Amino acid sequence: MNKNSPLFDDEIDLIALFKIIWDGKIKIFFIIIISFLVGLGYNSQIPINYLNSLTINPSNDVELIKFANIQKLIKSNQSNRSNQSNQSNQSNQSNQSNQSNQSNLTKLINELEDYKELLLTIKNTKKIQENISKLNTEDQEIELFKYAKLLEIVKPKKNEQNYIINFTWHDPDEAKKILQETLNLTSKNLKRSIVLELSQLLEFEKKLLINKDLERLDYLKEQSAIAKELNIIDNQIDNVNLSQSSVSLNISTADIAYYLRGYKAIDKEIELIENRDHQNLKFIEQEINDFKNKEIEFVRYNVYLMDHNSLKDTKLILMIYILLGLIVGIFYVLISNAFKPKKLSKKTN
């Protein structure tokens, strides 16, 4: 019997504990109500933020084909391609177009990741202007860069092409406007950088051709001077003795001294080079200008299909406060009950 008495005592204590809690249920209920109201007040003070998600797809804009063609024109001007390589390029044109579209999407994302366009757009919103208007320039920059954390770019998974832009903002409608203006500004800056890159490539190609022409002119002028000194007016190459088989097998007319063509032909070639206007480069320049003046859609998206999810979980907050009120209420009832005997003993004394 003595061995079982501790267990029996424990059972009695547990029952007594529940009885104390049950007797104090009204107090516990009121404490839960108070905690619920506190949680409700706290929830009302928390600003409502939304996670705004926008899907970005590669563009199929035909104007981007012109951009790819300009690149090909510049490259083809640098080196003459064989007919075989041209045929190969045509057969893979569709695949290259898809790669080019994906590349343009990647370029736009890279441009977006410097956050300049986003911060400039946010800076122009009314609320942000009011918040930073009293700050100096340096502090304004520091405050603005805090908003860069609100934008997250989710890269595509394997075998996917689409990027997802997540933007945390308190107003979904204003978030649409901010993202729309940010992407428009990003596209403009990307276009400007592409046009600048193409113009620089073309300018470099011009310099290479001009340098090549200058080198050729120096050589021709030297050959013309030699021909004039030897009084070689017309072509004399055919008069060179190449009848021996050992010579004819090893020497071509290209290896023969150029002045033998005569200064009349050489001077004419000099004149033509000096008057050369490089029409092919002018054509490429015109293509670049046309591309510059076109509206280009580097990526496809629709801000009206943007997803909005509230980051404020009201149910979770209230459940936590209700649970907290229950715990506090139980402890209050148990602690207050523990002091009752002491109060009774003081009265008896």
Tens of pLDDT, residue by residue over 40-84, are 888 888 878 889 999 998 887 677 777 777 878 887 776 543 344
Q: What is the pLDDT of residue 270?
A: 93
Identify the band that residue 346 occupies on the pLDDT scale cut at 50, 70 and 90: very low
Q: What is the pLDDT of residue 16?
A: 81
Sign of the alpha-carbon dihedral angle for 58, 180, 110, 69: positive
State both tokens at 294: 């076109």
What are the residues whose beta carbons fall under 8 Å from the beta carbon of 199, sequence distance 6 or more?
288
CB atoms within 10 A of CB 61: 18
CA distance 243 to 94: 55
- Considering only 25-34, 129-138, 300-309, 316-325, which range has the smallest mean pLDDT? 129-138
Query: CB–CB of 163/109 below 8 Å?
Result: yes
Task: Check whether 160 has a pLDDT greater than 70.
Answer: yes
CA distance 269 to 116: 54
Q: What residues pair up with 348 in beta bridges, in sequence order?
A: none
pTM over 0.75, yes/no? no
CA distance 202 to 205: 5
Average pLDDT of span 209-223: 92
Identify the band that residue 318 occupies on the pLDDT scale cut at 50, 70 and 90: confident
